[in-house]
Each structure stands twice: as C-alpha cells, then as structure tokens.
Structure 1
C-alpha cells in the first residue's frame, strides 16, 4: 500500500512539475498565428534543436521560473518548434534561423516583432518579453503602424534593428524619421546607425550628420568624421561612374566630379579603392591588378589581412611576375604577423609562380603542417607540394 501511495505521489508530482513552466501550445504554426490574431496577442516562439545545450538549460532553468511563466502565459501565445524536424524546417528557412536557441516574437500575420538568441538569465528573458510586448504591435504590423505615421522613438528603434538586414530601404526610412525627431544627445549607437543608413549627401540623414557635427565628432574624432564626410560625398559619384552593363568605370567622369569635392590626391585614392572593390566581383582582374598595385603602393598603411586578401587574388588570377613579386611582399606581412595555414599557403603559391621554388616548398610544408595540427583541410598545400617536386 505504501508503495502504491508513493507511486501516486510521484505521478502527481511529475504532473505538477510538468505544468510549472511556460504553457506551450501543442498545435500547428497556422493555428497558433490564428489564435494570436483572434486574442490580439503576440506569439512567442522558442526555436530550438534537440542537441543544443543552451536550449536544454533554458527549458530546465528559465522557463519554469515563476516570474517568467506567469508573464509569458499571460501575455503571449507560446510555441516551441524543433528547427530540424517537421514544420520547424520550414519555419527555420522562412525566418533565417541559424542559431539556437532563437526566440521570436511574431504578430498574428507572422511578422517578426522582436528576435533574439542565446541563453539568457531570468531578468534578461523577462526584459526581452516586455520590450517585445508593445501594445501597438498586437493588432498591426510594424509596416502598418509606420505607414500610419507612428513616430515613437522606441518603436522606430526596434523597427530599425528588425529590418536593417531584411529590408534595408524600410529601415532607412525609419531611421530618417527617428533622427528627425531625436532631440537628446546622440549616443555611440545612434551615430553608428546614422552612418549605416547614410549613403549620399542627398539623404535626409545627411542634414543630421552636418547639423550635429560636434556631437558626432566627439564620438568618433573630427578626423574620422571628415573621412566619413568625404566617403559620403563621393558615394554618388562612384555610383554614377560605373556602367552596370559593361562593368567599365569611367575614370574621367569620376575625377571631374570628385576632385572639386575632395581634391586630386583623395580622388585618385578613392578611384583606385573603388576599382579594388568592384573589379574582382565582375572578373576584371586586369583592371584589378593595375588598381591594386597603385592603391597598395604604400603597403605599410594597410592591415596585413587586407593585404593578404589582395595577395590571394593575385595568386589566383595574375600571371605577371613583377606584380606577383609585389603580392608576395603583401603576403609576407601577414605571415610575419602570425603564421596560419592560409597565409603560408598563399605565400607558397606566390613563390612558386615567381620561381622561388625552395621558398615555395618550405611554406607549403609549413601550411600543410599547420592545417593538419589544427584539423583543417591540407589538400591544397599537399597538391602544391606535389607540383613542386
């Protein structure tokens, strides 16, 4: 009899324990959205994977917390989906979920209101929910509220963060409204967002950039401010200089329009920088070679990793030995800073193309050794060594 009572007690305890957590709906995604729309609530979605350690810790340590479960159960339609099974696969594709756990707050139309990821403590997880639980977003999307003229700073900031990557133009419009109404001093984050959406002197945010120069310069220094100003002024000239059909950059047009803005020296540097960025993307490696040799002439002014990228492009696409010799100098700067399987391979390949066979063998062997000890793919270095025999 005691054993039966103990078993009953255990079963009851387990049942109670099972209820002491967020109340996740056990229905399909469409039904969850419909319920959220009907009840004018947001959907909270825990997007997890069965192998994810932090996901299990959230389920064990945070979801059962009294403050958490009470707030989430009262304010959201809660759901959980394994992103690697069933409906979860389509949800992961739709919302671009690549990190686990991911936490999504959706309105009844399935639009993301707030998104975050990673393990959180109780206070962080509650703060996230309260930030997402904006009453204005329960019955309408961000886009609808924005079109109606919503100008609440917190609303606009959330909208900027949400759409910065998925809908740049919409986020840019939200930033323009945000900064037009911004009366308080600009924070470092504000300045970062302002510059992220500032591409041309014709942008509305450029007026903010110039009118609040002193504030911005205090955040980034006046020299950096002036450099940004140069880049902004040149951005439209750069855009108009490129023939999108032929891929040809009109040097004459660029210099004619850029020199009055920034002077001849800065204009020439900017033109070469444009070619270095643009030409590899369209396969114009002849134009890239000429521009890179000029742009990286004073290589001591550049980060070794940027030089290494240029050296790699030369090793892959350029055959002129003088140019390759210069590229090997760029690769050497990266190797001197820190030897990796990647930079030693690039240097070995450059040496092999200019006839420095012994040096090429030495760095190919080093690249292979580094790759093998770090569990990386050493096949390229091995192949290069075979060709050098």
Structure 2
C-alpha cells in the first residue's frame, strides 16, 4: 500500500513539475493587437519579440514544443521582451483570436518580407525593427544566445545593415552585409547593399566575384549584370553560366506565370515576340525556351498529338539540348498516350537517339522495344527487350523478364 501511495505521489510531483516548467517558458500575449503590444512595450520599456509561424511548419512546432516552453527561454524573454505569436497562414480551424490577428500578420509579413518559417523579429519599445533570425535552432541555449544580439546595438541586424547602407562601408563590408541580408530573406536591404557593392567593386569580372554575384541574380542589379555581359562572364566562369542564371528567371516570369494548362494555349508567336522585345540580347535562348514551353504545356494539358509535334520540333531544332534522359522521357510519353502511327514513329526516332547516347542503359533499350512492339514489329521488339534484360541491374531483371514474356505471348504490355 505504501509503495502504491508513493508511486501516486511521485506521479503527481512529476506532473506538477512538468506543468511548472511549461509555465516558466516564454509568456506570449493573447488577444493584443500589434498597436496594443507596442503600447505595452513602451509602458514597460521592453523590446518586442514576434514569432512568425505557420500551422504547416514543422520547425515552428518544434520551437514551440521544445524551446519556447523552457525555463531558460522564459527567464530571458520575459525579462526583456513583450512577446507575440503571429500565425502567417489561415485555416478553417483558426480560433477567433487568430482570426483577429490576420491583418497584423499580413502587415508584418509584407513589411518585413517574411517568406521563410519560422522567422523571428525583434523591435525596440517604439516598434522599430532591430533584429531578425530566420530558421529554428536545436537548443534553447542557442536560441537565447542568438536572440541576445537583438539587445546589442553592435549586433542588431537592421541597425548594422542600415549603417552599412548609409555609406562609408568598405567593399568587403558591403559584400558581407549583402550576403547576410540575403540569408535573412531581407530582400529590400539585399538589393541596396548588393547594388552598393557593385558600385564599390573595382573589378567585378573575376571568377570569385562573379560566383559571389550569382547569389544575387534575383535581386538588385544582379540580373542586369548577367543579362548584359553573357559572353564576358562565360569566358571567365564557364560556357552557359550566365544563361543558367538568367533564363530560368525569364521563363518563370515571362512564360510560366502567364500560361495555364487549364486554359487554352497562348499565341506562341506573339508571346515569343513580346519577350524578345523585352530581352533582345537573348533572342536565340528565348526561341528555344518557348519551344520547350510548348512541349511542357501540351504534356500538362494532355494534348498528346500537339505534344508529339512540339517535341519533334524541339528535338529537330535543338537536338543538342535534348540529352538521353529527356529523349527517353518524351518517347515514353508518346508510347503511353498515343496510338497514332506517325507520332509513334517520331518517338521511335527519339528512342534511337537516346540509345546512341547510352547504349548500355536497360531502360532506354526497353523503351525502344516497347515502341517497336506497339507498332507491330514484334520480332525486333523481342530482340531488343532481350538486350534490355541482359543490361538490367539485378533488381530490375524481374520487371524486364515479365515484359519479355508478354511480348512472346503477344499480350498487352501497357
């Protein structure tokens, strides 16, 4: 009986201790608006801490369950900060308090460019942004150490960046400042600092400086640098380096943001002309980009005849950019989605090219065999499927053997 009572007491003590530990964590304000939080911070002469989180963010949940509720976090934050949680997404299950904070969350998210989660923002008692941390930490101690920088004017992120941006910083300081801003997803200051770095850098055209600048192709004048100096940059860093940075951005902004497979296809010639007019130095690359965009569009919209025609046009004109994996994938798409002999013949030609590039790839050989089989060339199909079986790694032998067996029995293979 004594042992039973003792066990109950230990359980109660453990539960109470756990609850006490949770209660000693960071105290987040409930039901206060951003303006009310600032008023409270001024009244208590404390800084403000905002946890910007989303419901789907696993790392956000980790911080709440393993860091914020710890005594060490509570001791530091409750003494120095008025703390606020802001949910940056919305769900059907949101409480009334969360719904009431939607407008504040949107304001904070847009003004301070909160694009990754969790993002932690720190403000002075007047509500001026002083510091930010992007990403979770493994331990409470690490988070407290990083957060302490918010109270140190020599380490406060926004203060340091602002000082650099006002001038007088060395080229190296601008270079480091732009990188730090980029890592913190502070794109406004990233652009400012990188643009100043470009003005200060006496020789941007070195391999080291260009590789550094490639980080900033999406912000500031980085895009213009690589757009307008392709040949010069490629001669230093390597052929195709500039286009590998610039063309995906043009494709995303000028093509894929404007076409939707759920809608009818655009007038490809008009679209191509508009983009070339905007970026005349990339005329050839844009023509190739549009050719490939057509292939992707008709694949997604499942217009397989148009897909086959567009794919054949792309391969005919830009065959050097159609490596074996791409050729094989296009051949498979026609194999599985078209019964038209003329399109299947095109796919056979693509498949041949993939085998010429890699004759020992079992999957490429098998694709060719399947195309032959579908076009009633059974004897030759069996020969190539036998080759595929011999080339196949052990884990794929059963799959290729089954296909071969069906071919011999003249059964359906798709």
Alignment match, 2:138: 120
SS of 1:77's equivalent in the other structure is strand
Q: What aligned pairs does 1:114-263 form with structure 2 within 5 A after superposition?
A: 114-117=133-136, 120-122=138-140, 124-126=142-144, 129=147, 153=174, 156-157=178-179, 160-161=182-183, 173-174=191-192, 176-177=194-195, 179-180=197-198, 183=201, 190-197=212-219, 203=224, 222-224=236-238, 226-229=239-242, 246-248=267-269
Q: Tell me if 1:104 matches 2:151.
A: no
SS of 2:120's equivalent in the other structure is strand
- Kept in 2, the 8 Å contact 1:200–1:235? The answer is no
Kindly report the root-mean-square deviation, in angstroms, between the aligned alpha carbons of the 2 structures. Answer: 6.4
- Gaps of at least 5 residues in structure 1 are 96-100, 374-384
Cα distance in 1 between the residues matched to 2:185 and 2:246: 26
CA shift, 1:328, in A, is 2.0
CA shift, 1:246, in A, is 1.9
For the pair shown, the structure with the greater C-alpha radius of gyration is: 2
CA shift, 1:43, in A, is 0.5
Alignment match, 2:112: none
Among candidates 13, 19, 22, match of residue 18 of structure 1: 22
Cα distance in 2 between the residues matched to 1:233 and 1:84: 36
CA shift, 1:247, in A, is 0.7
Cα distance in 2 between the residues matched to 1:116 and 1:180: 29
Alignment match, 2:93: 86
Q: Tell me if 1:64 matches 2:82.
A: no
CA shift, 1:49, in A, is 6.7
Among candidates 292, 311, 318, match of residue 295 of structure 1: 318
Which TM-score applies when normalising by structure 1? 0.53
Aligned residues: 327
- Gaps of at least 5 residues in structure 2 are 42-46, 110-115, 260-265, 299-305, 400-409
